[in-house]
Amino acid sequence: MECTVRWQAAAGMAFHAETGSGHLIAMDGAPDGGGRNLAPRPMETVLAGTGGCTAYDVVLILKRGRHDVRDCEVRLTAERATTDPKVFTRIHMHFIVSGRGLSPAIVQRAVQLSHEKYCSASAMLGKTAEMTTAVEIVDL
């Protein structure tokens, strides 16, 4: 896996990342740090990537089990250390999974498998952060 991050000097503290798969991600800092608040902060992209990683797993696990999953949303809240390096210390993930006839136990198991076995991002962040989850099921 590769990624190139380039500082956009004319834009203050903005950076553009080009991923190995050819996609672009814009990042910027807060105004008090020289940024212009035009894009997510780098640590926000880490949190978003973690949510994407685990949501991907949950949907894939449910689809492979032939469950009628129609939507998956993960709302993440995080706390960071107050001193440098300001690592994540707590991350809570609230999963809202929609579908027809979804069993709470099966959805909970998919979330558990993601965190215990498949989600690389959660595994890394779990080294510094207390990770908690909640599951809500919407029957369509």
What's the confidence (pLDDT) of residue 102? 97
Are the beta carbons of 47 and 70 closer than 8 angstroms? no
Residue with tokens 């000097």: 9
pLDDT at 20: 96
- Average pLDDT of the chain to the nearest whole number: 97
Query: Contacts from 84-90 at CB under 8 Å and sequence distance 24+?
Result: 86/43, 87/128, 87/129, 88/43, 88/46, 88/47, 88/125, 88/128, 88/129, 89/128, 89/129, 89/130, 90/129, 90/130, 90/132
Q: How confident is the model at residue 114 (pLDDT cuts 50, 70, 90)?
A: very high
At the top level of CATH, the class of 42-139 is alpha beta
Given pLDDT bands bounded at 50, 70 and 90, which one contains residue 70?
A: very high
Domain boundaries, the chain: 3-33, 42-139
Sheet holding 24-27, edge to edge: 3-8, 14-19, 24-27
Distances (CA, A) of 27 to 12, 16, 42, 133: 11, 6, 6, 27
Q: How many CA atoms lie within 13 A of 137 on its CB side?
A: 18
